Structure 1
Amino acid sequence: MQFKLWNLAIVDDSMLFRKLLRSNFVEHERLNVAIDTSELYDLFQKLKDYPVDVLIIDVLTQQQNIRDSLRRIHQEYPDIKILILSMCTDVGIINDLLNLGVYGYVSKTESPEELMKAVISICEGKIYRNRYFTELLYLGIQRNIGQLADDKNIKLADREIRILELLWEEKSNKEIADLLHLSIRSVEKIRQNIKDKIGVKSTVGLLRYAVENNIIYTTPKPLLNYR
């Protein structure tokens, strides 16, 4: 059986670190590092010629341009899923990026196995919801208290609610389609309809909405001591 090859792009200032990542991914038969660079400009030049499934990027790389760059990627290459791999502890920076196609956050202090697990999960179309990502999600909600739109008049259908629950369980579109006996295209359409209805642009936005409105019931973990 022939599997789809997943193409990765790595953006990090350290050449040594990028080489270590490349050597780690080469051991997986379905992963291919298509782009390896320290420059955001170089990334955009290469994206014209090399299709990419997952972008692994340090948010401290050319930090002054990171928001605009990820926003541009989200707009021009909406199928690219973004994984933040960083030592950044500025929750303001990371929180602002969550709605720009970010599918996970992994600290550089984590093990290679954790990173591989995140990459495979994201390649499969799932949000990688480790404890860092979950805590950042809650922090983002806390930071937005008082600025949230009035959601009380928004009514979601049972199927829409179920899809939000399955997204929280880290199910891919294919897995959701199988569980609900729908086509993948139907799941994608329903997800987009929910986004339009509640006024968000990303999967992270859907998850935040679900938590804020008690569609998803979960106990928050102790929040990280970010500064």
Structure 2
Amino acid sequence: MASVQLDSHLLYRRMNRLISRSLRPFSLKIVSPAKLMKSDLAKQTVICAGLVGVGDALAQAYRNERDLQRLVDMTLAGSFLGPWYKWWYGILNKRPNLTPLMKTGIDVSTSPFLHFTFLAFYILIHEHKIIDAKRSWENMIELIKLDLLLFLPICYTNFKFIPPGIWQTVYINAMYVIIVEPVCSMIINDNVQLFDFFFELLPQPVFEKFIEKIGIKTVLDFIIERTAGK
């Protein structure tokens, strides 16, 4: 009888150990707030949110605007980029066979998803409504143009020269904020058209010399004359 009880006890312990090991990957770990704030995820989230806020502040300064609520909402909307970049760059950096150019192409291909998610989140918290398809499409077209024109070289240098880890997040967001995010904010909030914005930055003589050099000045003059004649 004692032998049977001992065998039953051992069987119970083994079954309990087996079940515990099976459920361990699905168990939730309680992390203290202090430890959470020291994690790379928290750091990247704060960095991304802060840099998006700085980008919007630069955009408002350029257009002589002062909208504190917009600044706060843009900052909050940028917070989701931290978890995304930590997860996404972690995947890309685990693929040693991918060249920097291949990583750049894969990363840029996620732009529509990122832009739509950011737009939907921002419109929800700033305007308290669901983004409509027309506005989403118009903004997405301009934002994708912006990515191809400016973000593509930034992304390539990120994978080519910056070591994997939190510094990739810092670099990609810093360059995005200084160069891309102000224009991005103006596209979203002020309906700025990308090419019109860049043409405004060029001094008129430089612009005229440029279009003459590439051979389209005559065509543009003809179109302007015909349009004015109507």
Bigger radius of gyration, 1 or 2? Answer: 2
Q: TM-score, normalised by structure 1?
A: 0.24
Q: Greater RCO between the two (CA within 8 Å, min separation 6)?
A: 2
Which one has a larger percent helix, Structure 1 or Structure 2? Answer: 2
